[in-house]
Amino acid sequence: MAAIVGLAVAIAGVSAVALWHPWSAAPVAGPAAAGGTAAAVAVEPLDLPDSPRVLVFGDSWTYGSAATTPELGYAYLLADLLGGQTIVDGVRGSGYLVPGLDGGTFGERIADLDPTADPDLVIIEGSINDRKVAATGYLDAVPAAWDALEAIYPEATIVVLGPAPQVLPVESATARIDEDLAGLAAKRGWAYLSPLAEDWITPANYGWIIDTGIGRNHPTTAGHAYLAERVAADLDALRASPASDGAIASDGTSN
């Protein structure tokens, strides 16, 4: 019964956010040229079937940490918002450089993915956990992991979802990771969704989005519902837009 009630609350939260868009504001700038000087490649419109199969790969936020149950995490809720199916692969504590509590680094986990899963879309989320270690090797580890992911699912579209702030103000290491990922995605022509640049989490909404107590600075159940809505809105913008630089405006449109 508790799980049913929790699901109802999460669905209500998604519906409420869908009707009220507090994030309408000025567009964000295009991706930074981090990780080298290669020019950005235009991002093609997102072309998905009516009932897409989506792999959501990431860390504890993708796992569903701090939601009433993990199945109320944003990655699971995306299935209904996108009208399809999500395959959720989230490991707490994992990053491109650091292994997780229940699995390895992103690269090690990608090597273990099921090549027959055949997703239409892969969303790779993270990597806030890498803020805890030196940046040495980061700009090598990310492309290596992405190359492996692309090799496993050559027909899938890959979208990168950057780190969201677990605390405010945003930590400098988190901002650096966001900038590095944006630049690396731009060079591949991959869409990059930046919770930092789009101001998904601000002092005005932080209190109900993030559980600072037992959740140890992870999204609440309502926070996960909100994040799912934000991701879905950005994906909808990419589906409707012409070729762009991959940056999403904070009103949900593509630049």
Give dist(CA 169, CA 203) in Å, integer.
Answer: 9
CATH superfamily of domain region 2-20+34-240: SGNH hydrolase (3.40.50.1110)
In 3D space, the residue among 159, 201, 196 whose CA is nearest the CA of residue 176 turns out to be 196
| Residue listed under structure tokens 């700009």 | 139
Model confidence pTM above 0.85: no
Per-residue pLDDT of the chain (255 residues; tens, 9 = 90+): 434 334 444 444 444 443 344 443 322 333 444 444 457 788 989 999 999 999 999 999 999 999 999 999 999 999 999 999 999 999 999 999 999 999 999 999 999 999 999 999 999 999 999 999 999 999 999 999 999 999 999 999 999 999 999 999 999 999 999 999 999 999 999 999 999 999 999 999 999 999 999 999 999 999 999 999 999 999 999 988 665 555 555 455 555
For residue 158, the SS3 value is strand
Residue 56 burial (C-beta neighbours within 10 Å; 0-12, 13-18, 19+):
buried
Q: Residue 45: which residues within 8 A CB-CB, separation 6 or more?
A: 238, 239, 240, 241, 242, 243
Q: What is the DSSP letter of 121?
A: E
Q: What's the confidence (pLDDT) of residue 97?
A: 98
Residue 193 burial (C-beta neighbours within 10 Å; 0-12, 13-18, 19+):
buried
Q: What's the confidence (pLDDT) of residue 157?
A: 97
Q: What's the confidence (pLDDT) of residue 41?
A: 86
| Amino acid identity, position 37 | T
Give dist(CA 167, CA 210) in Å, integer.
Answer: 8
Domain boundaries, the chain: 2-20+34-240
Q: What's the confidence (pLDDT) of residue 236?
A: 95
Q: What is the DSSP letter of 171?
A: P
In 3D space, the residue among 182, 187, 188, 201 whose CA is nearest the CA of residue 248 turns out to be 182
Q: How many CB atoms lie within 10 A of CB 106?
A: 32
Give dist(CA 17, CA 1) in Å, integer.
Answer: 24
User: Which DSSP string corresponds to 2-65?
Assistant: HHHHHHHHHHHHHHHHHH--TT--PPPPPPP-TTS-PPPPPBPPP---SS-EEEEEESHHHHTT
